[in-house]
Amino acid sequence: MFLPKIKKVLLLSGVFLILASCSEYQKVLKEAEPGEKYAMAEKLYTEALEEDSNSKFRKAIRLFEQIVPQYRGKPQGEKVTFLFADSYYHVGDNYLAGYQFERFVQAYPNSDRVEEAQFKSAKSYYYLSPRYDLDQTETVKAVAELQKYIDAYPNGEYLEEANNLAADLRVKLEKKAFEIAKQYHKIGDFGVRGENYKAAIVAFTNFINEYPGSPFREAAFYYRFDAAYQYAINSYEYLMKERLNTAREYYNNYKRFYSEGDEHFDAIQASFNDLESRLQNL
């Protein structure tokens, strides 16, 4: 009988403490002077870091929102602005975290924490990057921000991670460009005779020139050849010889870089053998 009573008392005590804490927070939020708000915001931020508590970060954010403008230009302004941005970063509000860290870097370029702020700003934009098949405006911005950090801090604390993140985003941009070119190849002869294959050849040529180190490069060489081959064999007979010879050049380009062990070698070789047979018959 005694133990349940103790548990009940402890539970009620905990409830009262939570209610009192909430009441104190609401009072400071609505009525306190900037100094009190600053003290509570910093306390909540510190506790949130220790406890990994999103709710405390969000409480701190509400206080920081009120006091950041009032501390701008004052000695505490640098710290308040950084903690404000970092609170957004920890709750995963990547748009506002990136924006607030950018503002911090602009306002306090000589701060001891400017490198961290610049990296976290770039990383926040990294997290805003969508799937490769969607609009890549955010991805382009994230790459630019990461590159800005890499250029500014060639020996920086976060250099390796920044390089890895930038490389990941570049592959996403490459995949987007590759899939656009591949789409022209896929729809092939639909529409105006051969025009989609012609567009695919141009798109894959641009891709090869623009992304020399891409993991999709071998496939791009293959699909460029195949687009030229399909374009040729679906042509009027009087155009076929010239177009088959162009496809042969793309085959030679593929062979210059890729050997029998590569992914598309068997397919390209079969098409090339047919191409040679057609040229002999012509």
Give the Cα separation of 229 and 250 in Å (integer).
9
pLDDT of residue 3: 44
Q: Where are the domains of the chain?
A: 20-109, 174-282
pLDDT of residue 194: 72
pLDDT of the chain along its 282 residues, tens only?
A: 444 555 444 444 444 444 445 688 999 888 779 899 999 999 999 999 999 999 999 999 999 999 999 998 899 999 999 999 999 999 999 999 999 999 999 999 999 999 999 999 999 999 999 999 999 999 999 999 999 999 999 999 999 999 999 999 999 999 999 999 999 999 876 655 678 999 999 999 999 999 999 999 999 999 999 999 999 999 899 999 999 999 999 999 999 999 888 999 999 999 999 999 999 998
- Report the candidate in 201, 215, 211, 217 with the shortest Cα–Cα distance to residue 250: 201
Look up the CATH superfamily of 174-282.
Tetratricopeptide repeat domain (1.25.40.10)
List C-alpha distances in Å: 51 to 24, 95, 104, 243.
Answer: 20, 24, 25, 68
